[in-house]
Structure 1
Amino acid sequence: MKTAVVWFKTDLRITDNETLMKAISQNDRVIPVYCIDEAHFKTTPFGFKKTGCFRAQFLLESLIDLDRNLRELGSGLHVVNGKPEKELPKIVTKYKAHRVYAKREVAFEEKQTESLVQAELWKLHCELETFSTSTLYHAEDLPFSIKDIPDVFTDFRRKTEKEAPIRNTFDKPTRIYSPEIPLLNLPTLSALGLKSAAIDSRAVLQFKGGESEAIKRLKHYFFETKAISRYKETRNGMIGADYSSKFSAWLALGCISPRFIYQELKKYETQFGANESTYWLVFELLWRDYFRFMMKKHQSKLFQKSGIRNKELATEKTDWKLLERWINGQTGNDFVDANMLELKLTGFMSNRGRQNVASYLCNDLNFDWRYGAAYFEQQLIDYDVCSNWGNWAYLAGVGNDPRGNRYFNIEKQATDYDKNKVFRNLWLNQWQADS
């Protein structure tokens, strides 16, 4: 019997999962595995946890949901803890697997882990086969090679939209043949070195992990409320669940795929009509693709202070008190402070807020942008390595912004996007009352 392992990572879904479908179609038995990588819960050189409590909770919920969905198909999720390069070979040996199927990585640390796993599997005469499952457009279908992708988004978007196809989604499997998979046994947050924290009741959404929740959210935003038809007008909002899709958290862990969202969007447009707003969601998914392709092109440069532009930034020496005031919403700038409190207490912040607090850290505080990126990595439920570091480099003037430096007039932004101070009052007044 041909036995294969499916190594789940940030593709925690059964619908539109090429990795899973290829493994099922090419083998007699499949063992779905997730490794809780100890490296993901360490402290970074910037002094922050790689994974904070909000995202860790979302991950655990997503694993519970994936296990449930796999068991309905006759399988289950085998969860192991430790280093993937040590734990996956143990599974391969135990089940006599000849191949491991996994999502292809592009970011520096993830690629290193992938290489370590591949080297260890090779010793067991076991192949690692990887698939590109994270983007709307497949890298092989782009009208240029990765090394020739334009460093300006607009140039990339125009040519890609014009010349590249979007592939069809993969169906959900109907049956998975597996040996008996042990019952799910997940660590607690405290076992991962984290304190449990409930999402503040003022949060735009009480995020819950898993593919089931992702599809429920999509149905709500598209078909139940038709909020997608107003997306372009409302996307700069700051309060409430439906000013934007909020798909980012589920996309980040791969609980839903961009192609599945696109497929459902086309169904929506057929039923209710297309407009600028429905297009704008595709536009945002394309930005997400772009940052992933940029990571593939520039590799570790997006983690360096000088970025892809090799631009030396004259930042001041690190003042920890300044950074702490920014983190804790105590800068004295009410718009920045309200947004930072939202992030601290919920693990989420609006797109408008993210741009302003990043501009403030880089330009007003003259701080090394990588500390901001590292804090977001810890704090955000929807942290995505490519989008996070790509966006921060962009705001810091060392990434893909053709203008080189994006300074936000925060007082004007506050007036434009929080004219009556509703957002600021929501976060600052309650916080002052609680303090």
Structure 2
Amino acid sequence: MNNLIWFRNDLRVQDNSSLTEAMKGSNVIGFYCFESKFFETDEFGFKRTEKYRAKFLIETVQQLKQELEKINIPLFIFHGNSADYLPDLIRNHCINSIFLQKEWTRDEQVILNNVKKRLDPNINIQEVYDQFLFHPDYIPYDDFSLIPNVFTIFRKKCEANSKVRPINTLPNQMPSENLIDTKTKTPTLNDLGLDNYPNHINTAFPFKGGELEALKRIQNYFWETKKLSFYKKTRNGLIGTDYSSKLSAWLANGSISPRTIYWEIKNYEKEIVKNQDTYWLIFELIWRDFFKYISLKHHDAIFKSGGILNNTYDPKTNKKAKHTWINGLTKEPFVNANMKELLETGWMSNRGRQNVASFWSKELEQDWRIGAAYFESMLIDYDVHSNWGNWMYNSGVGNDPRNRKFNIKSQAERYDAAGKYQLLWLQETLF
């Protein structure tokens, strides 16, 4: 059997269910496409993928190619539309089965359907859920429609009744003759219509993309510095590389699986310490799962003005407000510092994200979808489910039962009492 693995948001070799199954065939090839759809300009005027995440993605795909070559699997890399390349590749290599991670959001579905229209109906397509901590087969809900809209209810029930699957063991490498020259190459930032850039000296995310980089980060954050032992105490930090795990970017494009992180935490708890801090990183992985299940339950409602609550939502649309918010020129220095960090690095802390989202949607009363789209464009660690889920949450059209509005000045006093963070990002403005 000749198999193809279509990589999407599962850009790794280790603990990859699709790859494990595909390698049971006699011949295996890999396919990845830098989809044009994700580099277009959206309805709000933003490039859907800006230079920061694009660079991280390029690095990830380059490393994926190298890791696949170690097990004698070639990776065909294209830029454009999968539907223009994949059918010919399947015919030319006499592929019997396609293995891929199941994606269910709007654009990913359109891309898959466009490919299916051009395929021989006899081609076997095997999609698997491979991005969860708690796999859909193991959660205590028989149907996605039963997923509760309150996180705490979901978390407690899953913790009591679900289990995390073991990590997939990779089969032996393919025969050396399986590795062929694909004659394809990874596009550059310029190829994608983007500019190259140096890392900002103050970036909190100086890391590169790729599976090995993710594993290196775990090794450092867990075992070398033992920062995991203090995660809950430091996770609301604002400056530096180590106030949080920074694993979200690798999780977002699937260059590491949540199961890998979970079982490494469990090893850490056995060998070093088990405390509230080690649990809290698992807690955050469950939050990530929750937003994925919310999008499985509510589908495209996560992109609509009224959100999953179908609220009557009548925001203002003010070009000046948009300009001042994006460029860090509002009346709130704490908001400005966070927005400048995002603009110049593609990164923002969790604490910052909640504050600037609340300010945009509840203080300025602007369309929350503009803010979500801007984050989609800029964030290195953009994940469709977490991004749009969190924006709904902070804007009163999602999963926050209390519909809170952040007091920005109070938040700044609490998390940046000495003003170091604001000074770091606003000094050019101040002097």
The verdict on a shared fold, with TM-score over 0.5 as the criterion, is yes
Say whether the 8 Å CA contact 2:29–2:76 is kept in structure 1. yes
Give, in whole Å, the separation in 2 of the partners of 1:181 and 1:432: 55
Say whether the 8 Å CA contact 2:236–2:349 is kept in structure 1. yes
The residue that corresponds to 1:260 in the other structure is 260
Say whether the 8 Å CA contact 1:361–1:367 is kept in structure 2. yes
Structure 1 residue runs of 5 or longer lacking an equivalent are none
Letter in 1 for 2:160: K
The residue that corresponds to 2:61 in the other structure is 63
Give, in whole Å, the separation in 2 of the partners of 1:137 and 1:279: 15
Q: Give the deviation of 1:183 after TM superposition.
A: 4.8
Q: Give the deviation of 1:216 after TM superposition.
A: 0.2
Q: Give the deviation of 1:288 after TM superposition.
A: 0.3
Q: Give the deviation of 1:257 after TM superposition.
A: 0.3
The Cα offsets for residues 256-314 of structure 1, whole Å up to 9 and x where unpaired, read as 00000011111111101210011000000000001001111100000000001010123
Runs of 4+ residues over 4 Å off in structure 1: none
Say whether the 8 Å CA contact 2:69–2:179 is kept in structure 1. no
The residue that corresponds to 1:131 in the other structure is 128
> Is the partner of 2:160 in helix, strand or coil?
helix
User: Residue 358 in 1 paired to residue 342 in 2?
Assistant: no
The residue that corresponds to 2:103 in the other structure is 105
Per the normalisation by structure 1, the TM-score is: 0.96
Residue identity over aligned pairs, in percent, reads 43
Say whether the 8 Å CA contact 2:98–2:124 is kept in structure 1. yes
* Shift in CA distance, 212/173, structure 1 to aligned 2, threshold 3 Å: farther
Give, in whole Å, the separation in 1 of the partners of 2:332 and 2:155: 36
Letter in 1 for 2:340: L
Say whether the 8 Å CA contact 1:106–1:292 is kept in structure 2. no
Root-mean-square deviation (CA, aligned residues, Å) is 1.2
Q: Give the deviation of 1:165 after TM superposition.
A: 1.1
Letter in 2 for 1:118: K
The Cα offsets for residues 303-342 of structure 1, whole Å up to 9 and x where unpaired, read as 00000101012312x1112101100111131000000000
Give, in whole Å, the separation in 2 of the partners of 1:114 and 1:296: 17
Say whether the 8 Å CA contact 2:4–2:30 is kept in structure 1. yes
The Cα offsets for residues 99-129 of structure 1, whole Å up to 9 and x where unpaired, read as 1110000212112222232332244x21211
The residue that corresponds to 1:142 in the other structure is 139
* Shift in CA distance, 179/121, structure 1 to aligned 2, threshold 3 Å: farther
Q: Count residues in correspondence.
A: 428
168-177 vs 388-397, which deviates more? 168-177
- For residues 235-314 of structure 1, what are the structure 2 equivalents within 5 Å? 235-314=235-314
Q: Give the deviation of 1:399 after TM superposition.
A: 0.7
Structure 2 residue runs of 5 or longer lacking an equivalent are none
Q: Give the deviation of 1:176 after TM superposition.
A: 2.6
Say whether the 8 Å CA contact 2:12–2:64 is kept in structure 1. yes
Say whether the 8 Å CA contact 2:100–2:126 is kept in structure 1. yes
Q: Give the deviation of 1:197 after TM superposition.
A: 2.2
Per the normalisation by structure 2, the TM-score is: 0.97
User: Residue 191 in 1 paired to residue 191 in 2?
Assistant: yes
> Is the partner of 2:127 in helix, strand or coil?
strand
The residue that corresponds to 1:221 in the other structure is 221
82-91 vs 270-279, which deviates more? 82-91
The Cα offsets for residues 68-120 of structure 1, whole Å up to 9 and x where unpaired, read as 11111122311022211221111101101011110000212112222232332
Letter in 1 for 2:129: S
Give, in whole Å, the separation in 2 of the partners of 1:152 and 1:420: 35
User: Residue 115 in 1 paired to residue 110 in 2?
Assistant: no
Give, in whole Å, the separation in 1 of the partners of 2:371 and 2:87: 36
Give, in whole Å, the separation in 2 of the partners of 1:175 and 1:425: 52
Give, in whole Å, the separation in 2 of the partners of 1:234 and 1:413: 15
Give, in whole Å, the separation in 1 of the partners of 2:296 and 2:331: 39
Letter in 2 for 1:35: C
- Choose from 162, 165, 183 the match for 1:164: 162
Give, in whole Å, the separation in 2 of the partners of 1:314 and 1:376: 21
Say whether the 8 Å CA contact 1:136–1:289 is kept in structure 2. yes
Give, in whole Å, the separation in 1 of the partners of 2:254 and 2:131: 7
196-205 vs 159-168, which deviates more? 196-205
Letter in 1 for 2:127: T
Q: Give the deviation of 1:406 after TM superposition.
A: 2.0
Give, in whole Å, the separation in 1 of the partners of 2:421 and 2:174: 48
* Shift in CA distance, 190/23, structure 1 to aligned 2, threshold 3 Å: same
The residue that corresponds to 1:385 in the other structure is 384
The Cα offsets for residues 208-251 of structure 1, whole Å up to 9 and x where unpaired, read as 00001000000001000110010011100001111100000000
> Is the partner of 2:365 in helix, strand or coil?
coil
